[in-house]
Structure 1
């Protein structure tokens, strides 16, 4: 049979139709397989991992078909237990696909230490700004007679006097002893009274 007659024969068209059907079925099966592998159209609700230990979060996410990835450890936050998750991305209740990584940050095990700078003879405003920048807390201020007003004369923590170079924990409360700026005036008043007494004695 010549090629021309074969291409116009019923046998050719039957084989062509069969090939088309097989191709369509194969493509349909391939698409369904890919949809199954990628969970096409299916989304997972991201759980809230806040305050969870890392190993607990790993088990939880594994059950949901997700993964956890530790990014960093942050400075200690007292409102969270030590070594628990404080931040996550994506956020809780976000919709994600199966296999998505959830990025987390852990709380430190406790407050880190800072070195006390030299705050003596600094103004209270300067000292307060410095301790806040170090992660410390401004406590009580006590005024005592001194020529310099609002100048730091002494600093302490829980009644213990501190000096430059001391190591203390972040979030510690620092108390201040400040000058009231009145000592000069007291000295001037004393000198004036002394002079008045001398003048009175001389007149008598």
Structure 2
């Protein structure tokens, strides 16, 4: 074999190499379309909402590869269902192209509950959305600052900021509806414990205002109210009036004051 090559002139061998190179190049380029499957395109099927197993089987049957690229948690679709696909449905791509899938997680990740109290409803809604939490029920209660968040609840219970909650949880918001339009006489809280006064405030749709505590008080809930502002009656003996959503200030003492036994505390009627 080597004798055959060595007995030929250098120019002959060079020409042979050149001819062989062009022959191989021609063969390569003629087969390139077959190798790369040039011109062979398929339409990507829609696998949104299907289980990841069903989606992979459907894509492979259609002539594609499938790979789970990412995961996310969406409470409105089943666990391990396909949330997104790349390329998207209807795209024209080559045979054998890999379709990347984003699937729904089986367990909701935990996030820290934000502090919504004092925010407007719109701000609270945006913050919940950014944390992948949902606005649940909205309950209105009379208070000064209209449409601001007074409390945040989860499953009917107050949830503190920083508490870990599952993504997708529905957060109930207690919102301020502003003060009422109907005026009623101020209830008489003097002589009641602070705990009793809080119950009466709630029944009357009023709020506790400033609370001044005597140094001798060790148990605030069972301390007695010795003074309130506004008082039940003014200096000329007429009833002071209050609207739902307004506040009453209290002075607390460990000693129960002597009160008029004929005085009655009448809750403010709700609108």
TM tier relative to shorter chain: 0.5 to 0.7
Native 8 Å contact 1:137 1:171 kept in 2: yes
Per the TM alignment, residue 143 of structure 1 is displaced from its structure 2 partner at its CA by: 0.8
SS in 2 for 1:72: strand
Per the TM alignment, residue 188 of structure 1 is displaced from its structure 2 partner at its CA by: 8.4
Residues 49-64 of structure 1: pairs in structure 2 closer than 5 A: 49-64=47-62
CA spacing shift, 1:182–1:64, aligned 2, 3 Å: closer
What is the aligned counterpart of 1:143 among 119, 137, 141? 141
Aligned pair 1:65/2:63, yes or no? yes
Aligned pair 1:86/2:83, yes or no? yes
SS in 2 for 1:59: helix
What is the CA RMSD across the aligned residues, in angstroms? 3.8
CA spacing shift, 1:125–1:57, aligned 2, 3 Å: closer
Per residue, is there more helix in 1 or in 2? 1
Alpha-carbon distance in structure 1 between the residues aligned to 2:92 and 2:176? 60
2:34 is matched with which residue? 36
2:252 is matched with which residue? none
CA spacing shift, 1:186–1:154, aligned 2, 3 Å: farther
What's the TM-score, normalizing by structure 1? 0.63
Alpha-carbon distance in structure 1 between the residues aligned to 2:185 and 2:178? 12
What is the aligned counterpart of 1:118 among 91, 108, 115? 115
Question: Runs of at least 4 residues of structure 1 off by over 6 A?
Answer: 24-29, 185-189
Per the TM alignment, residue 41 of structure 1 is displaced from its structure 2 partner at its CA by: 3.0
Residues 87-96 or 147-156, more deviating: 147-156
Native 8 Å contact 1:76 1:109 kept in 2: no
Alpha-carbon distance in structure 2 between the residues aligned to 1:95 and 1:137? 37
Residues 106-185 of structure 1: pairs in structure 2 closer than 5 A: 106-122=103-119, 124=121, 126-138=123-135, 139-144=137-142, 150=147, 152-178=149-175, 182=179
Q: Give CA deviations for 1:146-201 in whole Å, capped at 9, x if unaligned.
A: 56655544321232222223222233222233456649x87889659422217xxx
SS in 1 for 2:88: coil
SS in 2 for 1:93: coil
Alpha-carbon distance in structure 1 between the residues aligned to 2:163 and 2:33? 63
Aligned length: 175
SS in 1 for 2:116: coil
2:236 is matched with which residue? 196
1:45 is matched with which residue? 43
2:222 is matched with which residue? none
Alpha-carbon distance in structure 2 between the residues aligned to 1:156 and 1:34? 65
What's the TM-score, normalizing by structure 2? 0.50
SS in 2 for 1:196: coil
Alpha-carbon distance in structure 2 between the residues aligned to 1:65 and 1:178? 55
- Stretches of structure 2 lacking an aligned partner (at least 5 in a row): 1-18, 188-229, 239-271
